[in-house]
Amino acid sequence: MVTTPIVVAPAIDFADVRAEFDLVDGFPSDALDEARQAADRYADVREDRTDLPLVTIDPPGSMDLDQALHLERTDDGFVLHYAIADVYALVEPGGALDAETHRRGQTFYLPDGSVPLHPREVSEGTASLLPDVVRPAALWRIETDHGGEPVAVSVRRALVRSVARMDYAGVQRDADADRLHPSVEALPDFGRLRSAAALARGAIELRLPTQDVVPHGDGWRLQIEPRTEADEWNSEISLLTGMCAAQMMIDAGVGLLRTLPAADPAAVDGLRRTARSLDVPWPPEMGVGSFLAGLDAHDPRTLVLMSEAPTLLRGASYAAFDGELPETILHGAIGAPYAHVTAPLRRLSDRYATEVCLAVSSGLPVPEAVRAELSAMPKIMSSTDSRAGKVNRACIDLTEAVVLAPRVGETFEATVLKEATDRHDAEVFVASETVIGPCGGAPEEGSTVRVRLTLADPQARKIRFDHDR
């Protein structure tokens, strides 16, 4: 992980970003009324599983808790119980709240707060799997063998109660000190098994230098997102559940998949050429996923390769089907079919994919009201995914410009992530400021150079460096 000095920006008003992307925190009064009166429509059919000592793992301060888990070792392998907030049970189909969530599509995250998919009365209240309260959930039970591969999968409506709220850094500290909570004592071993299985099936994980804007005192600062092993272990739980959900829906012939074409061979060849030019060994028999996973995070050449790696995985989409399977069912980065089912408080599509799985697991027909919504999900989710990415980029661009505005004319050491082309400037990473930006001139990809800051315009949300020869 890159460590850098803390560079603090003064108070920043993100209101212009919210306005530009039509992000409104408040809800229509009729939708808000429904949220405040929300009641569990399936209360009479739920299994009481409040005996399970489930725990949540989320960023510090999170209140919209979608998932809670309990993982145990058995003589035959592992048993995972994974509770997912049962949002469908609390949102009346066809009501005002339902209509508003379809308009929003997902929760949008900005440095100064989120614009939620659901009113906070639901997302941080009646549906959230907060500790020490009973909540309705879709409870997955996944039995695996000793290698972490699923052998039996089911999902039922249940009442659950989380006994502890954890965060990634805390879980990592507890793992390092050999004092993990009993409910996740097996998580490191299980997570590593699943990670190894991912590489074996050709999964490709891109560990990009992800920028975040985070509060700092009365202002803001940029940081490279810290990612621990605990993040990876927890991610494997969600990925496993999504893979099981996808297979369940494929077998039933109805559902909603998250799809991504397999890596383009030409892009893989291009990445191999870049590795050769940077003198990074890549044995011919080694797959791209294993190559990327083995790169040294502290080597500047890794930043270059990881910045080029997104060309491997393009064309992410959603595929709804009812009868005939879609042409593409694979998620190329995961190396298997995959579905979003684990974040219904923050993503609309999960609500409906989960309902399909609940029906299939119970041997019941998928409700017509759910089938009718599936075909609308790809358009809603693709458009809001795009908007979420643009919102995040706009917030980072604004913060970079504000941080650097007083420093125009200064020079910095930078790693060249991408060389200039006929259409684009070079791209550089300035570690001391945690900034990635365009750079004029023709610095060599992978090299460490001096660059001069020539533009930092908060109003335009733009920065620019020039190669300082």
Q: Are 55 and 70 in contact (CB under 8 A)?
A: yes
CB 451 within 8 A of CB 435: no
Q: Is 166 inside any structural domain? A: yes
Cα–Cα distance for residue pair 198/206, rounded to 1 Å: 13
Cα gap 81→137, rounded to integer Å: 11
* Cα angle 398, 404, 407; round to 5: 155
Q: What angle do CA 452, 427, 235 make, to 5 degrees?
A: 125
Residues 224 and 357 both lie in one domain: yes
pLDDT reported for residue 10: 59
Q: What is the pLDDT of residue 3?
A: 42
- How far apart, in Å, do the first and last CA atoms of the chain sit? 29
In a domain, 5, yes or no: no
* Type of residue numbered 415: T
Buried b (16+ CB within 10 A) or exposed e, 4-24: eeebebeebebeebbeeeebe
Classify 148 in phi/psi space as left (phi over 0), alpha (psi -120 to 50) or beta. left
Q: At what angle do helices 300-308 and 265-277 cross, to 10 degrees?
A: 160
Output the tens digit of pLDDT for each of the chain's 469 residues: 344 444 555 578 899 999 999 999 899 999 999 999 999 999 999 999 999 999 999 988 899 999 999 999 999 999 999 999 999 999 999 999 999 999 999 999 998 889 999 999 999 999 999 999 999 999 999 999 999 999 999 999 999 999 999 999 999 999 999 999 999 999 999 999 999 999 999 898 876 556 677 777 777 777 766 678 999 999 999 999 999 999 999 999 999 999 999 888 999 998 998 888 888 999 999 999 899 988 887 777 887 788 788 888 889 999 999 999 999 999 999 999 999 999 999 999 999 999 999 999 999 999 999 999 999 999 999 999 999 999 999 998 998 898 899 999 999 999 888 889 988 999 998 888 878 899 999 898 888 899 999 999 999 999 999 997 7
**Domain range spanning residue 413?**
407-466
Q: Based on the domain organization, do 116 and 30 belong to the same domain?
A: yes
Same domain, 132 and 270: no
Reported as half-sphere exposure (CB side, CA atoms, 13 A), residue 236 has a value of 25
Tokens representing 431?
Answer: 């570690």
The SS3 call for residue 410 is coil
pLDDT confidence of residue 385: 95
Type and span of the H or E element at 29: helix 29-36
pLDDT for 237: 98
pTM above 0.75, yes or no: yes
In a shared domain, residues 227 and 275: no
Residues 206 and 319 in one domain: yes
Does residue 284 share a domain with residue 335? Answer: no
- The reported pLDDT for the residue numbered 210 is 64
E strands within 260-363?
A: 317-322
- CATH number of the domain at 427, please: 2.40.50.140
Give me the phi and psi of 452, to 5 degrees please.
-110, 130
Instruction: Give DSSP secondary structure letters for 327-389.
Output: S---BTTTTB-----S-TTTBHHHHHHHHHHHHHHHT-PPPHHHHHHHTTHHHHHHHHHHHHH
Same domain flag for 252 and 370: yes
Q: State whether 417 and 392 are in the same domain.
A: no
Q: What is the pLDDT of residue 217?
A: 73
Q: How many domains does the structure of the chain reveal?
A: 3
- Residue 197 falls inside a structural domain: yes
pLDDT for res 2: 41
Of 402, 421, 436, the last residue of a domain is 402
Asked whether residue 226 falls in the same domain as residue 349, the answer is: yes
Residue 4 pLDDT: 43
The answer to whether residues 245 and 331 belong to one domain is yes
Q: Report the DSSP pairing between strands 108-110 and 113-115.
A: antiparallel
In a shared domain, residues 341 and 412: no
Domain termination site, one of 382, 402, 422: 402
Whether residue 9 is contained in a domain is answered as no
- Same domain for 120 and 95, yes or no, is yes
Would residue 241 count as lying in a domain? yes
Evaluate whether residue 211 is within a structural domain.
yes
* Domain C-terminal end among 402, 418, 438: 402
